[in-house]
């Protein structure tokens, strides 16, 4: 069906790729990194309900920290280590009061089961079986590494590549969605971004076009894998990955579906201005100071894209030494006119996702959060609707009360909407049958 909008209750929406709610989150005592790797994975109770044990070290400065995502309830809980295993508190990073305890069977390298005790009731959960294959390719001077999870059975299976958001993310965080998709019969490739994990290169010097080329290489490798159906491939992109996913999907004939979670339908410069002005407002800057900061950002982006009026960049920055508005613009020193910085900056500004969405004839699922502080829902809903009026097969899901991480109650007891992940996995599986 073309152009479907689904306004759903918070109890039945979709989330992928978790984002931490606050930089002020209390830290959990870290565990040994090798132990964290052993314990992470997808588990299921006897009634079939699933949850994922995820290592959040990429989001916590490299400190191995386990967190449980319960897909059915949306509950998120960090695991605090103790002598008997782990305990979870009343909130994501709250130790007390204890809500439940888990004890893994650590007699084998990868625990096959754990015991979960909550409100005096003990339940056993078992690790969900799936094959793991090592992904390594050399592409344009960089070594790209990751993991392909494959459902049981000979296949051929449909398969997706997960494109993460911004920052130095490895395969660890996306696995919480990739493993669930594999349980739904979809092989999932999660990759360390350049310069993270086992991949070489630099993630923060990569243009969106270069990032798209990396994804092409991942899809090419995926299509050659035994047990994978090369005619049923898909892309699941999130946040900044939304400037990459539509580019790749529009350039390939073997990609059958695109999921874009909290992805922009507008050019990156416009998103940056919205995001940074909102951040300045939250920081308490006056409206005149916000206007000065935004004016400087506009000039920086204009020069990066057009290479003209460098004098206007210097003029917009002048007189701001020590001022709050100048500190809010994260580029502390203006690079020289012929500096390499401008080429790098241009590379993350130049892609207009609308140009690539217009070329798509495959099903697209776009997911927006009602309270997204980075992508203003009214603007992006309108932009997606314009694309749909052009007969682009976009289904739009709006998540009431959700942040950019698609979390509810982010400032108090953050969690995902109940049933959220399963609904997404089911939708994707139906498109790839």
pLDDT digits (tens, 9 = 90+) for 272-288: 999 999 999 999 999 99
Q: Tell me which of 5-9, 87-91, 139-143, 212-216 is least confident.
A: 5-9
* DSSP code at position 341: H
Termini Cα distance of the chain: 16
CA–CA gap between residue 236 and residue 169 (Å, rounded): 15
* DSSP code at position 195: T
Q: Tell me which of 226-240, 372-386, 399-413 is least confident.
A: 399-413
Residue pair 166/238 in contact by the 8 Å Cβ criterion: no
Query: Residue 158 above 70 pLDDT?
Result: yes
Beta strands in 106-212 (DSSP E): 113-118, 121-127, 131-139, 142-150, 157-163, 187-191
- In the beta sheet, which residues pair with residue 255? 233
Residue 319's region, left for phi above 0, alpha for psi from -120 to 50, else beta, is left
CA distances from 128 to 52, 87, 189 (A): 10, 22, 17
Q: Look at residue 160 in the predicted model and tell me its pLDDT.
A: 98
For residue 50, how many other CB atoms are within 10 A of its CB?
Answer: 20
Q: Look at residue 11 in the predicted model and tell me its pLDDT.
A: 29
Q: Look at residue 26 in the predicted model and tell me its pLDDT.
A: 45
Q: What is the pTM of this model?
A: 0.91
Work out the pLDDT band at 386, boundaries 50, 70, 90.
Answer: very high
Higher pLDDT, 12 or 296: 296
Specify the pairing of strand 4-7 against strand 394-399.
parallel
Q: Look at residue 84 in the predicted model and tell me its pLDDT.
A: 86
Residues 342-351, mean pLDDT to the nearest whole number = 94
Higher pLDDT, 426 or 27: 426
**Using a CB cutoff of 8 Å and minimum separation of 24, what contacts does 91-100 make?**
91/412, 91/413, 91/414, 92/21, 92/25, 92/67, 92/413, 92/414, 92/415, 93/25, 93/26, 93/27, 93/28, 94/26, 95/28
Query: Residue 153 above 50 pLDDT?
Result: yes
Work out the pLDDT band at 215, boundaries 50, 70, 90.
Answer: very high
Q: Look at residue 319 in the predicted model and tell me its pLDDT.
A: 87
Closest CA to 113 of 127, 103, 128: 127
Query: Residue 23 above 70 pLDDT?
Result: no
Query: Residue 356 above 70 pLDDT?
Result: yes
Q: Look at residue 21 in the predicted model and tell me its pLDDT.
A: 35
Q: Look at residue 34 in the predicted model and tell me its pLDDT.
A: 95
Q: Look at residue 12 in the predicted model and tell me its pLDDT.
A: 27
| Average model confidence (pLDDT) across the chain | 91
Per-residue pLDDT reduced to its tens digit, 321-334: 889 999 999 898 99
Q: Look at residue 1 in the predicted model and tell me its pLDDT.
A: 29
Work out the pLDDT band at 219, boundaries 50, 70, 90.
Answer: very high
Query: Residue 13 above 70 pLDDT?
Result: no
Q: Record the tokens describing residue 230, joined without a space.
A: 């090369």
Q: Record the tokens describing residue 42, joined without a space.
A: 């997808």
| DSSP string computed for 365-391 | EEEEETT-SSS-HHHHHHHHHHHHHTT
Residues 379-401, mean pLDDT to the nearest whole number = 94
Residues 111-118, mean pLDDT to the nearest whole number = 95
Work out the pLDDT band at 110, boundaries 50, 70, 90.
Answer: confident
Q: Look at residue 410 in the predicted model and tell me its pLDDT.
A: 81
Residue pair 219/160 in contact by the 8 Å Cβ criterion: no
Higher pLDDT, 390 or 367: 367
Closest CA to 350 of 228, 251, 237, 210: 210
Closest CA to 397 of 375, 428, 365, 419: 365
């Amino acid at each position: 069906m073309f152009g479907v909008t689904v306004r759903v209750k918070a109890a039945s929406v979709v989330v992928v790729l978790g984002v931490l709610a606050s930089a002020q989150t209390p830290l959990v005592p870290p565990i040994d990194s090798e132990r964290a790797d052993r314990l992470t994975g997808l588990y299921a109770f006897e009634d079939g309900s699933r949850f994922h044990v995820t290592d959040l070290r990429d989001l916590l400065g490299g400190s191995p920290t386990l967190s449980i995502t319960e897909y059915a309830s949306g509950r998120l809980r960090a695991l605090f280590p103790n002598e008997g295993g782990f305990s979870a508190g009343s909130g994501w990073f709250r130790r007390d009061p204890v809500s439940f305890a888990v004890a893994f069977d650590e007699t084998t390298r990868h625990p096959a089961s754990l015991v979960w005790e909550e409100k005096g009731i003990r339940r056993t959960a078992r690790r969900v079986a799936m094959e793991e294959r090592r992904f390594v390719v050399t592409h344009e001077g960089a070594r790209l590494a990751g993991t392909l999870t494959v459902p049981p059975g000979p296949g051929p299976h449909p398969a997706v590549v997960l494109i993460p958001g911004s920052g130095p993310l490895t395969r660890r965080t996306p696995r919480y969605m990739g493993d669930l998709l594999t349980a739904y019969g979809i092989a999932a490739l999660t990759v360390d971004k350049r310069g993270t994990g086992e991949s070489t290169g630099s993630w923060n010097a990569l243009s969106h076009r270069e990032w798209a080329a990396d994804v092409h290489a991942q899809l090419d490798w995926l299509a050659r894998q035994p047990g994978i159906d090369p005619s049923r491939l898909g892309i699941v992109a999130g946040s900044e990955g939304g400037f990459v996913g539509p580019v790749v999907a529009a350039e390939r004939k073997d990609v059958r579906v695109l999921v874009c979670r909290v992805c922009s339908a507008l050019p990156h410069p416009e998103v940056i201005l919205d995001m940074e002005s909102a951040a300045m407002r939250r920081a308490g800057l006056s409206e005149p100071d916000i206007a000065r900061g935004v004016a400087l950002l506009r000039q920086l982006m204009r020069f990066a894209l057009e290479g003209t009026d460098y004098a206007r960049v210097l003029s917009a920055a002048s007189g701001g030494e020590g001022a709050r508005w100048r500190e809010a613009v994260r580029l502390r020193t203006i690079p020289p006119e012929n500096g390499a910085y401008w080429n790098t900056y241009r590379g993350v500004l130049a892609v207009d996702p609308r140009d690539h969405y217009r070329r798509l004839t495959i099903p697209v699922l776009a997911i927006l959060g009602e309270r997204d502080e980075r992508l203003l829902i009214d603007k992006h809903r309108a932009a997606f609707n314009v694309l749909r009026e052009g007969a682009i097969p976009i289904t739009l899901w709006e998540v009431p009360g959700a942040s950019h991480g698609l979390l509810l109650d982010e400032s108090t007891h953050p969690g995902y909407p109940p049933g959220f992940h399963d609904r997404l996995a089911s939708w994707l599986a139906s498109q790839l049958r």
